[in-house]
Structure formats: C-alpha cells, structure tokens
C-alpha cells in the first residue's frame, strides 16, 4: 500500500513539474513576444491554438458522454442481475456479478466522465498546429481565377477545402472512437450479466446504438466522397498533373455514385433499426463494395485502356492545357518575358570597354574556396566562425560593384574545453564581431582576396563603414545569454589583452524580481540562473537569438529561404531573409518535390544583428495568401515602401524561389499541348566541374547590362540545355533592382545554331593541351587544383565563359586564386588575371583603363630602394629554382609571381 502511494505521489509530482515548466515557458514566451513587440501575434497564435484544442476536446467530450449514457442503465441492470447457470456437469449455480456493488449511477457516471476527459484531451492534442487551417478558413481572400472543372475560385481550394477535409477526418476518427467505447460498454455489460460470448451482438439496445453510429458514419462518408471529387484536382495523372479524361469522365462519376450509395446505406441502416432486417444492411454494404469495384476501379481502367490510350493526345489535350496553364500560374511562370538572344556573335575590345560594368563584376571568387581562405586569414580566434559568404552589391566609391561578405559570428562550441564554463557561455562570450568583405574580382599578388573590410575592429578601405560591428543575433547564436550583469562582456581580442563592453540595447527581457528569475530558470532548465550572484534585476536575457528560432517563432506559417544574408547599412549590420507563402492545394498545379505547388516571395524579413529587432515587409501585395495572413495578424506586415531606402536597395531575387521556378520551367516553358505531350522540347539544368567532380550547376548572381537596357543591374542567372544534350539553348534571369525587381527574363538562342553549354566548355578546357598540361603539373607534388564555378556571362549580344582556378597545398587549407580561364567563340585562354586573359583574346585595347587599388605587397616593394629590390629579386629567383628542383610546383608558381611583381616595380622605376 505504501509503495502504491509513493508511486502515485511520484507520478503526480512529475505531472506538476511538467505542467509548471509548460506554464513557465508560456509566460517567458509572452515576455519575449512583448520585447520584440509582437504580443498581438502571440495572442492570436496561442488563443487560436488553445481555442481549437478546447473546442475540439469539448465537442468530443459531449458526443462521447452522450453516447455512453444509454449504456449506463444496461450496465447497472446487468451487474445487479442474478441468474442460474448450468455448467457442463449439469450442476446449477446462482450467478451474481462481482461488479454489482460498484454498479451504481454515481460511480458509473464518474467513470464515464473520466474516460471522456482523457479521450477528449488526446483528441484535442491531435489538432496541434491546425489553428492555421481554421484562421485561413475564417479570413479567405479571392484569387480572381477559377478552376476549369468545378468553376470555383482558387481560394476555395486554398482556404476552405483544407478546413472541410480537417473537419471530415476529425469527425470520422471521432465516430470510430465513440463506436469503440460504446461497443466496449455493451460488451462489459453483457459479460457482467453472465451472457458470455455473443451476448453483446444479441442485445437490441446495442444493435440499435451501433446501427445509429454506423448510419452516421456512412452519412459522413458521403460527405467524404464529395470532398474526394475536389481532390481529383490535386492528383497526378499519366501524361499530366491533375485530372485527365479518365478522371473527369470515370473517377468523378464514381465519386458521385458513391455519394448517393453512401446516403442510401445510411438510410437503410436507420430503417433496419425499426424493421430488424439485417439483410437490408448487408445488401446495402455489398452494393457499396460492388459499386466501388466496378465504377471506381474497373470502369476507369476500361475507359483509360480502350478509349483514351488509342487516341491519347486528342483525349487529353484540353486537360494538358489546364495543367500547363495552372502550373505556370502557381509558380508565376506565366509572367516570364521571353526575348531572343543572338548566337555566334563575336565581341571586340571596344565591346569589352563599353561593358566595363559587366566585365569588372565578373565573380572570380567561388564562395567555397573563399570560405576556406577567409577562415585562415580573418577568423582571428578559434571561437570566431565565418560560416557563410554572400554576394551582394553596393555603391563603392561611386561605382556599382559586387562584394563577397561574410559575418564573423561567435561559435561557443569552438571555445577551448576549459573555457566552456557557465560564466563564459552565458555572460562573457555573447556576440560575434564585424564582417569581412572583398570585391568579387580582385586578387593580391599572393592569390588572396583583396579585402576591403577586414580585421577586428573592422578596418574599411572604402566608403562603406561598420560602426556597430557586434553580432548578438545571427545564424550561430542558438543559445541564450545574459547581458548587463555585474560582469563585463568580452568584446574582441586586442593583442595579448581583450576589450570588454556592455550591451547598449533594451530589446532583451529584464530578469526582474526573484520569482521571475525562478520562472526563467524553470523554463530554460538552468538552475544557475537562479543562484548566480552577478545577475541583477536590470540584467537582460537574450533568447531565441538565432534567425531560425527568432523569425520562425513569430511567423511559423511562413517558409524561409535557405540563405539569409548580411547587409551593411548606415554603419549597422542587418540580416535580410526572404520568406515565402506556399500551399499544396492549388488546383491542377504540379508539386515541387511533393511539398508545395504554389509559391510567392511575399515577405522580406529584416533583423538587426545588434538588438534583434524584427520587421516583416510585404514584397508582393498581390498574393492572396499574404493578404489573408495580413487579415489574421493586423499590423504585423509593413508595406515595402516603409523599409529604409538603404536596405531596400539590397533586396534580391531569392535563391530558393529562383531554383524552384527554374526546375519547373524545364518542362512548363512548353505551352503547346502537343509539344508538352511528346516532351520534345524539355530543358535540362547544365552541369559543371567543381574541383575534379561533375555537379549540377548552381544559379549565380552577377551584375550585367542586359541587352537593350541602359544601366547595369544585379541579376541571378541559370543557363538551360536541351534534354540529354550539353549545348546551351537559353538562359533565365531573375532581376533584383528597382522597378524591375521580381521579374523573370528568358533569353532564347536560335535552335539551329550551336551555343556552347557549360559542360562543353569544361570539355574544351580539358582538351586544350597547354591548360591540360599545366593542370597536371599543378596537381602533383604537394598541391591540388580546384576548379571554381564556370560562369556564363552575357556581354552585349554575346557570351563570355569564365572559370577561376585555385591552387591549394595538400598540407594547408588556404586556396589561392592563380589562374583565370576565359573562353569566347573558338578561343580559350588561361592567364594569371582576368584582364590579361581578355587582352589575349581581344588585344591590348581590352585592358583596364584604370588600375586596381595598390596591394599591400606592392606598397611594400614601393618602399624599397632599387638596390634592395635587386637583392630581393636574386633571393626569390634562387628560391624558385630550388622549389622547381624539389618538384614543388605550387611554391614555384608563387615564387615566379613574386619575382614578376619585383621586376614590374623595377621597370616602373626605370620608366620614371
């Protein structure tokens, strides 16, 4: 008895603790939403979630309880009934149920209430997360387009049909649960009455009750068949996505027949309650099965095989047109503007000079080797990490240029083991510091990126300054910290010492009184927060600091791009993150990877890296989904015009959306149903070599002056190749600047002319004897060659192909940019710099008219005398010879490069 009491007490304590932690988490979430000024959003989400659970649980409780009530009298009567039973030896005994003393009205009602309460809790919990379905149903927005089969506005499928399906599935599940408990109650009653097996089935009350539930089930099933008619618009067919000829003329007919058959069965079951002719029910159910097999199974197969397949194109043509039209609408592909792009054109040096904005922004730094190089030269300490490198554009000293930017975040996991103390992880090491930025096309003589923003504190050589470099909120900040305590925070390393700081923002949640601190300790699962002596009432807790935690906590109904990127504006650091509205309920639209069949980049999210302020801006106010979310959460989304101008100039065509659209466009650029049916004009995504492996080409950002445009603009590009071919047939561009933001352009090449595709250019590189020989030499003796992204760059009405080559020592992790391969027309060259490669193809007139900024190495040489330079040249020459003899080709190349720089400086002195 004592052990049972202790067990019950332990279970109760665990339950209380779980409930207390849930309440503490709810309270701290409320405080957090207040701190980010989205408390109304929190209230809408939590009240919708709890309201739906309570409503569903309450309705289920009432239905189950009402259905159990009729079994009460049966159970009491059976439990208190006495009867004579005869065993196999013909011995007659008086049977009394052992449940008789418990079978009273009060205890049974209490038991029923407990069962209903437990079951309603589980049913209510089952609808977790479905509040979005309810809210979208209550706040629909018209799409202004109707489906071609049932002629309903698309909003019906996106906002209303999911709710009806939710109610239907919930109701069907509830009917099964209720039937189970009702049958169990009757079974227990009959067993208590000593009837043994089969007594439950012979009871009129049980038969009537279960028959009534069966009738309700078939009425609900009729409603389900009605919904399944609409679901045909979201099912794959043979040659198209969505309903084809067979689905409309056979499957749809089957659902309509089954709808009426289910109603007839429901009525037959109700009639049987009074007529007591069980055969009527059996015949009805058999009829349903036969109709399902004949009309729903055999008939569609016959129609497809003997009527559709022999003349498939003509039969399916109108439905193929529907699939093409609605898939293109769902992915915004119907807005793609097509333009011709001439093939076979040859550029001149004059063309290169007239398109300097394009040529000077050709990206020579691939983000993958650059990430390793950044890590070696700019992470500074083990606990800093330059995780991601993003490409963006800025006005640099009056010129429109692309920069590679990487934020220097603090990764507490990389602290030394003996430094991973509670004080360090919660109070000291609280933030990252600064960014690294370099132009996409500038290289030092050592083969390293020419850094424009570097070091700690940030040093900028351009008119782009970082005045608030601390990064409290980012991609790696996935734990909570406490600021404004009695301990100063580590700011950045300063030689052998460290610099310290204090958080100057007010966006955290104040620790406050001791009870509030106790709630935080419970919610965060950290007792040290309660007992620490350095935390004061004015200390602030910064939690949900990572972008993935912070933004999705506020807007869990949005989908987000895989690449948030850092923006520098007004001396501060901001994260910009593209958010999408999606659904999988758009009629006749083929899904992308089975997850969604409608997508819009309707929201731009901006997060201040210092104080964590989050703002949502509407980028596509025509999207019905974002209009609905705006109704659900009034005031949450701001118009794009309210975004600061400096930030607005950095919005870009998002990577994930562009890739989704590019993949769908491979097939759905074909608008002619006959061409679509034969798949005779399918596109493919090209492949390229990275390192030594072939891989699918990634879309890439660049600055180009598009044909017919006056100004250069920041675009994203993806080339297309024909199906099972490697030549290039077209290229897709996503525009990012000004009034052209969000537009898609497709430039098509003449199909009768050959335009080299990326893989063909890679093959030409491999077949070039000089380049192949050099690559073989460099891949020997302690070094390896990394082949970077092959970029297809449109210049005027022709194409340049550019591929950087990086050299990396096998013992090191710092790739150096050593060569640039350029292909144009039938020419292909490899030179140390892009400028030299262009001159080799187009002549000296293609040279840059202005010099790049002088590098640190050049400035160092400039400070030496002629005698010192001559001595340095002799030393480097001897070093080069020794490296050549030892087979160190990477070192030999580096030495010859240094020697060239010295000789150029001597030549410059001689010219003076």
pLDDT, position 342: 84
Instruction: Count each helix (H run) and each strand (E run) in the chain, helices first.
Output: 30, 35
pLDDT single digits (tens) 185-230: 888 777 655 555 545 556 777 778 888 898 999 999 999 999 999 9
pLDDT, position 572: 96
pLDDT single digits (tens) 97-118: 555 555 566 778 888 899 999 9
- Planar angle of CA 701, 388, 661, nearest 5 degrees: 40
Which of residues 898 and 449 earns the better pLDDT score?
449
> Which whole number is the average pLDDT over 600-616?
96
| H/E run at residue 696 | strand 693-696
Bridge partners, 581 (sequence order): 600
In this structure, the dihedral spanned by the alpha carbons of residues 381, 386, 387 and 388, taken in order and rounded to 10 degrees, is: 180
Nearest CA to 473 out of 574, 545, 410 is that of 545
How far is residue 57's CA from residue 886's CA, in Å, rounded to a whole number? Answer: 79
pLDDT, position 859: 44
DSSP reduced 3-state for 597: coil
Query: What does pLDDT average to over the chain?
Result: 87
Tokens found for residue 605: 């999210």
Task: Report the relative pairing of strands 453-454 and 82-86 from DSSP bridges.
Answer: unpaired
**pLDDT > 90? residue 122:** yes
Q: Are 581 and 604 in contact (CB under 8 A)?
A: no
pLDDT single digits (tens) 434-481: 999 999 999 988 889 999 999 999 999 998 999 999 999 999 998 999
**pLDDT > 50? residue 515:** yes
pLDDT, position 890: 55
C-alpha pair distances (Å), 193 with each of 70, 98, 190, 206, 246:
17, 10, 5, 14, 56
How far is residue 184's CA from residue 187's CA, in Å, rounded to a whole number? Answer: 5
Which of residues 910 and 235 earns the better pLDDT score?
235
Q: Are 97 and 193 in contact (CB under 8 A)?
A: yes
pLDDT, position 231: 92
Q: Write down how long the chain is.
A: 912
Q: CB 166: neighbour CB atoms within 10 A?
A: 16
Bridge partners, 638 (sequence order): 617
DSSP reduced 3-state for 260: helix
- Residue 300 phi/psi, 5-degree rounding, is -60, -35
pLDDT, position 851: 46
DSSP reduced 3-state for 832: coil
Tokens found for residue 778: 């460099």
pLDDT single digits (tens) 647-664: 999 999 999 999 999 999
The least confident of 67-81, 531-545, 602-616, 697-711 is 67-81
> Which whole number is the average pLDDT over 232-261?
90
In this structure, the dihedral spanned by the alpha carbons of residues 10, 16, 18 and 21, taken in order and rounded to 10 degrees, is: -140
| H/E run at residue 106 | helix 105-125
**pLDDT > 50? residue 130:** yes
- First vs last C-alpha separation in the chain: 105
pLDDT, position 282: 73
Place of tokens 């199909």: 751
Place of tokens 């190089």: 373
Place of tokens 């930017």: 405
Residues 6 or more apart in contact with residue 367 via CB below 8 angstroms = 389, 391, 404
> Which whole number is the average pLDDT over 517-525?
90
How far is residue 600's CA from residue 623's CA, in Å, rounded to a whole number? Answer: 7
Q: What is the pTM of this model?
A: 0.87
pLDDT, position 912: 46
H-type helices in 331-472, by residue range? 349-354, 356-359, 367-378, 422-423
Residues 6 or more apart in contact with residue 816 via CB below 8 angstroms = 373, 446, 447, 448, 806, 807, 808, 894
How far is residue 663's CA from residue 635's CA, in Å, rounded to a whole number? Answer: 35
**Residue-by-residue DSSP string for 121-160:** HHHHHTTTTTHHHHHHHHS----S-B-TTT--BHHIIIII
pLDDT, position 71: 82
């Amino acid at each position: 008895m004592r052990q049972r009491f202790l067990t019950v007490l332990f279970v109760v304590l665990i339950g209380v603790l779980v409930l207390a932690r849930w309440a503490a988490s709810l309270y701290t979430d409320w405080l957090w939403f207040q701190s980010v000024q989205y408390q109304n959003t929190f209230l809408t989400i939590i009240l919708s979630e709890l309201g739906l659970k309570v409503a569903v649980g309450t309705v289920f409780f009432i239905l189950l309880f009402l259905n159990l009530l009729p079994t009460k009298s049966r159970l009491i009567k059976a439990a208190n009934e006495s009867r004579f039973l005869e065993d196999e030896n013909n011995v007659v005994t008086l049977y009394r149920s052992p449940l008789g003393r418990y079978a009273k009205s009060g205890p049974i009602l209490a038991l029923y209430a407990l069962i209903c309460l437990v079951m309603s809790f589980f049913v209510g919990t089952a609808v977790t997360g479905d509040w979005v379905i309810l809210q979208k149903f209550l706040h629909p927005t018209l799409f202004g387009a109707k489906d071609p089969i049932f002629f309903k506005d698309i909003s019906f499928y996106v906002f209303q049909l999911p709710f009806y399906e939710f109610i239907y599935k919930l109701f069907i599940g509830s009917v099964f649960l209720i039937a189970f408990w009702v049958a169990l109650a009757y079974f227990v009653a009959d067993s208590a009455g000593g009837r043994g097996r089969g007594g439950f089935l012979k009871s009129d009350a049980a038969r009537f009750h279960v028959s009534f539930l069966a009738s309700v089930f078939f009425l609900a099933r009729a409603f389900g068949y009605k919904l399944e008619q609409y679901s045909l618009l979201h099912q794959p067919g043979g040659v198209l996505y969505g309903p084809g000829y067979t689905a409309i003329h056979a499957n749809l007919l089957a659902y309509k027949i089954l709808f009426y058959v289910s109603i007839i069965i429901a009525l037959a079951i109700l009639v049987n309650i009074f007529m007591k002719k069980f055969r009527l029910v059996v015949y009805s159910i058999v009829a349903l099965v036969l109709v399902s097999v004949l009309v729903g199974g055999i008939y569609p197969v016959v129609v497809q095989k003997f009527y559709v397949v022999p003349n498939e194109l003509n039969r399916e043509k109108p439905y193929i047109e529907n699939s093409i039209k609605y898939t293109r609408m769902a992915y915004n592909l119907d807005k793609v503007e097509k333009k011709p792009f001439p093939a076979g054109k040859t550029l001149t040096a004059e063309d290169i000079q007239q398109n300097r904005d394009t040529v000077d922004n050709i990206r020579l730094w691939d983000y993958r080797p650059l990430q390793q190089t950044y890590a070696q030269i700019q992470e500074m300490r083990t606990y800093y990490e330059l995780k991601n490198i993003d490409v963006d554009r800025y006005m640099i000293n009056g010129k429109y240029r692309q920069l590679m930017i990487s934020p220097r975040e603090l990764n507490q996991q990389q602290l030394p083991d003996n430094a991973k103390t509670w004080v360090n992880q919660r109070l000291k090491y609280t933030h990252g510091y600064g960014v690294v930025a370099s132009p996409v096309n500038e290289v030092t003589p050592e083969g390293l990126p020419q850094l424009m923003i570097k070091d700690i504190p940030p040093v900028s050589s351009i008119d782009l300054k970082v005045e608030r470099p601390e990064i409290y909120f980012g991609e790696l900040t996935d734990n909570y910290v406490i600021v404004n305590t009695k301990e100063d925070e580590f700011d950045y390393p300063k030689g052998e010492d460290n610099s310290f700081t204090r958080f100057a923002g007010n966006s955290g949640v104040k620790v406050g009184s001791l009870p509030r601190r106790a709630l935080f300790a419970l919610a965060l699962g950290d007792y040290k927060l309660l007992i620490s002596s350095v935390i004061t009432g004015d200390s602030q807790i910064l939690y949900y600091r990572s972008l993935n935690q912070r933004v999705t906590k506020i807007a869990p109904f949005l989908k987000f791009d895989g690449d948030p990127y850092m923006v520098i504006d007004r001396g501060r650091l901001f994260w910009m993150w593209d958010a999408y509205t999606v659904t999988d309920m758009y009629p006749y639209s083929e899904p992308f990877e089975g997850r969604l069949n409608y997508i819009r980049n309707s929201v731009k999210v901006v997060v201040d890296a210092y104080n964590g302020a989050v703002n949502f801006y509407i980028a596509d106010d025509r999207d019905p989904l974002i209009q609905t979310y705006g109704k659900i959460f009034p005031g949450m989304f701001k118009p794009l015009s309210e975004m600061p101008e400096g930030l607005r100039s950095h919005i870009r065509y998002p990577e994930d959306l562009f890739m989704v659209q590019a993949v769908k466009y491979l097939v759905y650029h074909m608008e002619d149903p006959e061409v679509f049916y034969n798949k005779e004009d399918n596109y493919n995504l090209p492949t390229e070599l990275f390192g030594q492996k072939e891989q699918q080409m990634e879309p890439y950002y660049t600055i180009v002056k598009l044909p017919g445009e006056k100004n250069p603009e920041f675009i994203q590009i993806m080339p297309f190749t024909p199906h099972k071919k490697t030549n290039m047939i077209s290229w897709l561009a996503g525009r990012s600047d000004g009034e052209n933001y969000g537009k898609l352009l497709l430039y098509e090449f003449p199909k009768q002319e050959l335009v080299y595709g990326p893989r063909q250019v890679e093959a030409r590189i491999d077949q070039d004897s000089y380049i192949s020989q050099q690559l073989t030499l460099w891949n020997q003796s302690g070094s390896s060659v990394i082949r970077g992204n092959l970029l297809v760059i449109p210049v005027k009405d022709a194409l340049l192909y550019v591929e950087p080559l990086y050299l990396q020592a096998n013992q090191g992790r710092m790739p150096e940019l050593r060569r640039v391969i350029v292909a144009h027309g039938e020419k292909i060259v490899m030179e140390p710099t892009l400028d030299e490669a262009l001159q080799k193809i187009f002549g000296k007139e293609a040279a840059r008219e202005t010099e790049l900024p002088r590098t640190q190495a050049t400035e160092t040489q400039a400070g030496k005398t002629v005698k010192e330079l001559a001595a340095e040249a002799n030393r480097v020459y001897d070093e080069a010879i020794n490296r050549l003899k030892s087979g160190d080709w990477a070192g030999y190349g580096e030495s010859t490069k240094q020697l060239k720089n010295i000789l150029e400086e001597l030549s410059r002195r001689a010219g003076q």
